[in-house]
Amino acid sequence: MDPRIGRRRFFGYAGSAGASSLLFPSFLPFGSRETMEFEDPQGKSRPSAEADEYMAATGTPWATDAALDILEDGGNAVDAAVGALLMINVTFGEAASFPGVAPVVLYDSEAGEYKSYTGAGTAPENATIDHFRSQGHETMPSLSIESQLLPASPDVAVELLKEGGTMTFGEVVGPSVETAREGFPVHRLMLHNLDQSLIERFGFYILMPYNVKVYLDGQWWRPLHHSERFTRPDLAETFEQLAEAEKDVLNDGGSREEGLEAVRREFYEGEIADRIVEFHDERGGLFTRDDLSGYEGYWEEPVTGSYAEYEVHTNSFWSQGPVVPMILRILDGVDTPQSPEDADYAHTVLQAIDLAMADREAYMGDPEYVDVPAEGLLSEEYASERRSRMTSDSNFSDTPEPGNPRGFGEEGGAGTETAADGETGGNGKAREDGRYYPDTSYLAVVDGEGNAVSMTPSDFPMTPMVPGTGLTLGNRMTQFRLDPDHPSSLEPGKRPRITPHAVMVSKDGDFHMSFGTPGGDTQTQALVQVFLNTIVFGMGIQEAIEAPRFVSANFPNSFAPHEYSPGTVEIERSLYDEVGDGLEEKGYELDVYDDWADGDRFGGVCAVKRAEGGGLVGGADPRLESWAAGDSSRYF
């Protein structure tokens, strides 16, 4: 399957017959616009980054450099992380937009404390299952303004800076405003994400003309070219408007915290909120002023699970983050083969993935609305019960039955053998042409005091952008289900169980690593493989990231229409050459892709970890545009 199938649905829906009959003017420009010098890192191996004091690993080189600039100017990890987030919103905005989702895990070195922040918006008050069912929808519509989730990342940026930062919003947003105005070169991932035929670009223009203004400079007939100068002037103005709201408060003698609150107020209650609500009113959206003014995230204890002497900290069950420690719990009691290029190893990990994903589908959802058996899902006893379901000689061939974690890890004994909350395999819709993973990005920052931030921003322009603002509100509500019995069922005020999540690892209580990845349902799978490559097989972090991967497709996709491919594994070619025959003998259907060619499908991991001899080491995935650097190494 062409990995761009989801984008082609987006870009190609508007009547191709009409476009194909156009008398197209031959004098209109097709060629490259102004270009910039740029050595694109995508698809290229690179050495592990090293640093004595501080380091950043993010989804684009510009975001990494923005974080390092802030650290050099005296900011800490929180300041640098927010600056990197905003720069990713500029330089990879079609994958991780302002103001999309942005789950966070924060490590406070002075307190020795890990915290999670809810970087996922909620459904507006008018978003109900009955509303969408009455329109004939069986699943959430992908291209509709009604699938937009309330914005989260402005709240995340403000709360992070209030909780642990030292700088103002105006200080950390400055580099992003400059880059948005002066431009940056179109990179390979932008070309990949916006690769459309002439007819598809015309459909894009008919459906969403402002999106075309932002991404194609209004010239729908003209494709993007590598290294062209790309600017985001409207987004720059929005950033400046937020910074001006803060500046006004500071100039009047207000405190730093009061200035940050003014930033939040300007977005969720001020002129920007007015423009968002007016746009929804005009286009039949669901947002109201009360929805925006009433939105807020919150700090929480991270979900934590163990593997050997390591603890894995991630966001709560409103994300799929807990799947990472669930998989590792299952694997912690397994004798691991001696090589990651072993069919038995791949089979063992794949079975643990499928078992954890079956429980994800049965139990995991916004804990404000869902009674999640959290203690059981993460308990050693329940992991042992799930481990007993694994076989040595055959695959599951379909999504396995979920277990029943209720009672495990609690007084009163263990649960029964079958799930109480539903089934998994039958909830998906089988397809023959594979899966599509929409885009996301990632950033990790560690400062000289040992503070660390892990963040996974996302959301993409598959619904209309707010004219004149540069704002992408995404279609993240497609991760809701229109099934009231599903734990991620749609309800007003509820968060969908989003795929993006942030992860940190500690060893014997001390910070060890911050890492994460884009990739939809691939995210948990890629992180588990990188973790095992470093911990079990002793690889350096860059080697662990660059190693070939496999991905199970044996469960429903988190995005509507929730398709899945029973018994199917997607695998990179060099690993297929080593383990393909063995996996096929066990009954797996293998879809093979070139190494490093598809970061959507196989993830794009970034990581910063403590080096054994002191200092920091970092890695960044060649599958995407990502880059790691520290105080002793820069990209630009």
**181: nearest Cα among 245, 235, 241, 224:** 235
Give me the chain's average pLDDT, please: 91
pTM as predicted: 0.93
pLDDT, mean of residues 379-391: 96
Q: How many CB atoms lie within 10 A of CB 431?
A: 18
Residue 510 φ/ψ, nearest 5 degrees: -95, 145
Say if residue 436's pLDDT is above 60.
no
pLDDT of residue 475: 94
Lowest mean pLDDT among 26-35, 344-353, 452-461, 559-568: 26-35
Residue 67: count other Cβ atoms within 10 Å of its Cβ: 33
* Residue 24 pLDDT grade (very low, low, confident, very high; cuts 50, 70, 90): low
Residue 122: inside a domain:
yes
Q: How far apart are the first and last CA of the chain?
A: 36
**Average pLDDT for residues 5-13, to the nearest whole number?**
44
Confidence category of residue 32, pLDDT binned at 50, 70, 90:
confident
Look-up of token digits 């500029």: 90
- How many angstroms separate the CA atoms of 591 and 231, rounded? 38
Q: Say whether pLDDT at 381 is over 50.
A: yes
Domain that holds residue 497: 1-12+45-183+231-315+431-636
Q: Which residues make beta-bridge pairs with 459? A: 96
Beta-bridge partner residues of 454: 105, 444
**Three-class SS of residue 300?**
strand
- For the ranges 57-71, 81-95, 212-226, 352-366, which has the lowest average pLDDT? 212-226
Tell the residue number behind the tokens 């993973």, with chain if given. 437
Local confidence band at 500 (pLDDT 50, 70, 90 cut-offs): very high
Q: Is 633 helix (H, G, I), strand (E, B) or coil?
A: strand
User: How would you class 290 by CB atoms within 10 Å of its CB: exposed for 0-12, middle for 13-18, buried for 19 or more?
Assistant: exposed
Task: Look up residue 221 and give its two tokens.
Answer: 């007939």
Looking at residues 582-598, what average pLDDT do you find? 95
Residue 450 lies in a domain: yes
Mean pLDDT of 570-587: 97
For residue 322, being part of any structural domain is answered with no
Give yes or no for residue 438 having a pLDDT over 70: no
- Convert the pLDDT of each residue in 168-182 to its tens digit: 999 999 999 999 999
Which range has the worst mean pLDDT, 73-82, 184-193, 359-368?
184-193
* Cα–Cα distance, 482 to 485 (Å, whole number): 9
Tell me, rounded to whole angstroms, the distance of Cα 581 from its chain centroid.
Answer: 32
pLDDT band for position 28 (cuts 50, 70, 90): low
Residue 27 pLDDT class (50, 70, 90 cuts):
low
Residue 324 forms part of a structural domain? no
Q: Confidence class of residue 633 from pLDDT cuts 50, 70 and 90? A: low
Query: Which of 6, 75, 162, 17 shows the shortest CA–CA distance to 598?
Result: 6
Residue type, 533: N
Taking only the tens place, the pLDDT of each residue in 316-331 is 999 999 999 999 999 9
> In 308-426, at which residue ranges do the beta strands (DSSP E only) sit?
310-314
Q: Are strands 49-51 and 616-620 parallel, antiparallel or unpaired?
A: antiparallel
Two structure tokens written together for 362: 């049965």
Q: Give mean pLDDT, residues 361-379.
A: 98
Q: Span 348-376, mean pLDDT?
A: 98
The answer on pLDDT for 580 being more than 70 is yes
Q: For the purposes of burial, counting CB atoms within 10 Å of the CB of 39, is it exposed (0-12), middle (13-18) or buried (19 or more)?
A: exposed
In this structure, what CATH number is given to the domain that contains residue 635? 3.60.20.40
Q: How confident is the model at residue 423 (pLDDT cuts 50, 70, 90)?
A: very low
Does the residue 298 lie in any domain?
yes
For the stretch 306-312, contacts whose Cβ atoms lie closer than 8 Å and that sit 24 or more positions apart, written own/partner, are 306/332, 307/331, 307/332, 307/531, 307/535, 308/332, 308/535, 309/507, 309/508, 310/505, 310/506, 310/507, 310/512, 310/535, 311/505, 311/506, 311/507, 311/509, 312/503, 312/504, 312/505, 312/531
User: Has residue 159 been placed in a domain?
Assistant: yes
- Collapsing DSSP states into helix, strand and coil, what is residue 49? strand
Taking residues 254-280, report their average pLDDT. 98
348-358 confidence digits (pLDDT tens):
999 999 999 99
Task: From 303, 325, 268, 270, select the one nearest 122 (Cα to Cα).
Answer: 268
Share of the chain above pLDDT 70, in %: 90
* Inside any domain, residue 73: yes
pLDDT over 90 for what percent of the chain? Answer: 80
- Number of folded domains in the chain? 1
Work out the angle at residue 274's Cα, subtended by the Cα atoms of residues 269 and 275, and round it to the nearest 5 degrees: 135
116 in a structural domain? yes
Q: Once rounded to an integer, what is the mean pLDDT over residues 548-562? A: 96
Q: How confident is the model over 228-236, as a mean pLDDT? A: 97
Q: Residues 73, 77, 79, 82: is their CA dihedral positive or negative? A: positive
Tokens representing 347 are 């089979």
Q: Cα–Cα distance between 567 and 577 in angstroms, integer? A: 19
Examine the pLDDT at 430 and tell me if it is beyond 80.
no
| Helix ranges, 568-623 (H) | 573-585, 599-602
Note the pLDDT of residue 124. Answer: 98
Residue 635: pLDDT band (50, 70, 90) is low
pLDDT tens track for 74-124 = 999 999 999 999 999 999 999 999 999 999 999 999 999 999 999 999 999
Alpha-carbon distances, residue 206 vs 7, 10, 462, 467, 582 (angstroms) = 15, 11, 13, 15, 49
